[in-house]
Amino acid sequence: MVVTRFAPSPTGYLHIGGLRTALLSYLWARKNNGTFLLRIEDTDFSRNDEAAALAIVEAFKWVGLQHDGKIEYQSSRLEIYKQHIQQLLNEGKAYKCYMSKEELEALREEQTQRKERPKYDNRYREFTGTPPEGREAVVRIKAPLEGSITVHDGVKGDVVFNVHDILDDFIIARSDGTPTYNFVVAVDDALMGVTDVIRGDDHLSNTPKQIVVYQALGFPIPKFFHVPMIHNHDGKKLSKRDGATDVIAYKTMGYTPEALLNFLVRLGWSHGDQEIFSMVEMLELFDPSDINRSASVYNVEKLDWLNSHYLKNMTNEKLCELLEFHGVMLISHDKREILLDAVKERAKTLSEMAMLISEILVKPAGFEEAVLKKGYKEDSKEVLEKFSTALRAAKELHLPSDYHHVMESVVTEMGIGFGKIGQPLRIALLGKLSGPGLDSVMAIIGVEETLERINTLISY
Ligand code: GLU
């Protein structure tokens, strides 16, 4: 039975790097008919904020990675951590340390001067005396004093940490009794039965500490998969300057969850040269031991490409539903099929699509000089007038092809190329020189509106 989890700290929004490890954890659990848990790591009361936790859950819902069971909040499990801290104290595997802040600082200072790595000097490890008066104790766990701890990592291979270089008897409970980060992660992963921890490799250095906790409490150690970070083109950690890092920003920009998840699964994992992965394919093919060892590079063009692929292949009904978020209500629009077909090949995002739609549905507010200069020639007025007359004379005008026939008849009659009518007509209808097919645009707005827009341009 595989149990995985996503365990965000609510210190901000859901980061796309976090979503990527969540996706990989989700895939691995689902692929194995296992369990995927969502745990909010909110024990650092000074940094957490409830709104951030909500934002994370909201973003998580948007992408549709369904977790099993209820969301676990560490803040409601404090009693459990206390019990385990007490157990370690009782068993002599942890102890109270009464060192004051000043003493700790002085020790650090000395060690730094000696060019040593600052670390706790175990002065209370075997302490049995009377505690200094008025001093609050922290609880420290007894870490191994020598040797090494090896993390058997499914991505990185065996990573050996020299105890002397990285460990000391670290604090598991602060003086106010609240447990510390590495302690609660290990306790929760163990108690929740997590078998496979898939997370960012920024947590690799925490893993030996967590292993110390597992060992002290006699818990089995899970498998670890530390996924390399997402980098920008300069090989640095992805930052806001390189592109949005907040998952919800991708919703606002008009990306679909399918495209975003497809994009994220390919960051650091591949299957031959396949780029498009449906959820079913991801589930079939993903294996965390195939995750690349090196960092992956964020490439927004790839995301755009994927997103337009998913938009093109989406049903119009679904598109309609998603466009509502971008302010476009098409449910009762009688030409919505033609409208969506006209724009969906041309947009990389839903917000771009919403813009194209409003450019069709809303009359141009005016005409730019440069556009007119380029596309509205001396003979344009005559061509447009002829076209208007032909439109008025036409009987049945419903489909784009009906309008196309009228355009055809005018260019044939006048002995001119399509461009002669296309350019000025495009300016009249959309106020610009590019955009969706004109026959579709006219079929969408109808003959009266078409005539009106042409007239506006002619008399401009
Ligand atoms: N809460 C940690 C974070 O948000 C992740 C902990 C883990 O995955 O082990 O970075």
Contact 278, 313 (CB under 8 A): no
Instruction: Round to whole Å and give the CA distance between 345 and 387.
Output: 28
Q: Is the CB of 67 under 6 A from ligand 1?
A: no
- Output the pLDDT for position 104: 95
User: What is the tens place of the pLDDT at every residue in 314-347?
Assistant: 999 999 999 999 999 998 899 999 999 999 999 9
Atom of ligand 1 nearest to the CA of 5: 8
What is the arithmetic mean of pLDDT over 188-193? Answer: 98
What is the arithmetic mean of pLDDT over 141-160? Answer: 97
Ligand 1 pocket mutation, candidates 41, 182, 183, 207, criterion most atoms within 8 A of CB: 41
Atom of ligand 1 nearest to the CA of 200: 8
Residue nearest to atom 7 of ligand 1 (CA): 7
Q: What percent of the chain has pLDDT over 70?
A: 100
Atom of ligand 1 nearest to the CA of 8: 4
- Output the pLDDT for position 239: 87
CA of 137 to the centre of ligand 1 (A): 27
Ligand 1 pocket mutation, candidates 199, 201, 247, criterion most atoms within 8 A of CB: 199
Q: Is the CB of 208 under 6 A from ligand 1?
A: no
Tell me whether strands 3-6 and 157-162 are parallel, antiparallel or unpaired. Answer: unpaired
Instruction: Round to whole Å and give the CA distance between 169 and 206.
Output: 14
User: What is the tens place of the pLDDT at every residue in 266-277?
Assistant: 998 999 999 999
Contact 197, 189 (CB under 8 A): yes
Q: Which of the four pLDDT bands, split at 50, 70 and 90, describes residue 188?
A: very high
Burial 237-263 (b: 16+ CB within 10 A, else e): ebeeebbbbbbbebbebbbbbbbbbbb
User: What is the tens place of the pLDDT at every residue in 113-137?
Assistant: 999 999 999 999 999 999 999 999 9
Indicate the pTM of the whole model: 0.92
User: What is the tens place of the pLDDT at every residue in 406-455?
Assistant: 999 999 999 999 999 999 999 999 999 999 999 999 999 999 999 999 99
Of 138 and 235, more confident: 138
CA of 361 to the centre of ligand 1 (A): 47
Spacing of C-alpha 55 from chain mean position:
12
Whether residue 403 has pLDDT greater than 80: yes
Q: Which of the four pLDDT bands, split at 50, 70 and 90, describes residue 161?
A: very high
What is the arithmetic mean of pLDDT over 153-169? Answer: 96
Q: What is the mean pLDDT of the chain?
A: 95
Q: Is the CB of 22 under 6 A from ligand 1?
A: no
CA of 199 to the centre of ligand 1 (A): 7
What is the arithmetic mean of pLDDT over 217-235? Answer: 95
User: What is the tens place of the pLDDT at every residue in 238-283?
Assistant: 888 888 999 999 999 999 999 999 999 999 899 999 999 999 999 9
CA of 73 to the centre of ligand 1 (A): 13
Whether residue 181 has pLDDT greater than 80: yes
- Output the pLDDT for position 44: 79
- Output the pLDDT for position 390: 98
Ligand 1 pocket mutation, candidates 14, 56, 75, 185, criterion most atoms within 8 A of CB: 185
- Output the pLDDT for position 140: 98
Task: Delineate the domains of the chain, giving CATH numbers in brackets.
Answer: 78-227 (3.40.50.620), 240-333 (1.10.1160.10), 369-458 (1.10.10.350)
Helix 438-458 × helix 350-361 angle, to 10°: 50
- Output the pLDDT for position 50: 87
Instruction: Round to whole Å and give the CA distance between 67 and 40.
Output: 12
User: What is the tens place of the pLDDT at every residue in 2-51?
Assistant: 999 999 999 889 999 999 999 999 999 999 999 999 999 998 777 778 88
User: What is the DSSP code string of 216-283?
Assistant: HHTPPP-EEEEEPPEE-TTSSBP-GGGS--BHHHHHHHT--HHHHHHHHHHTT--STT-----HHHHH
- Output the pLDDT for position 243: 87
* H or E element, residue 6: strand 3-6
CA of 182 to the centre of ligand 1 (A): 10
Q: Is the CB of 72 under 6 A from ligand 1?
A: no
Atom of ligand 1 nearest to the CA of 181: 1
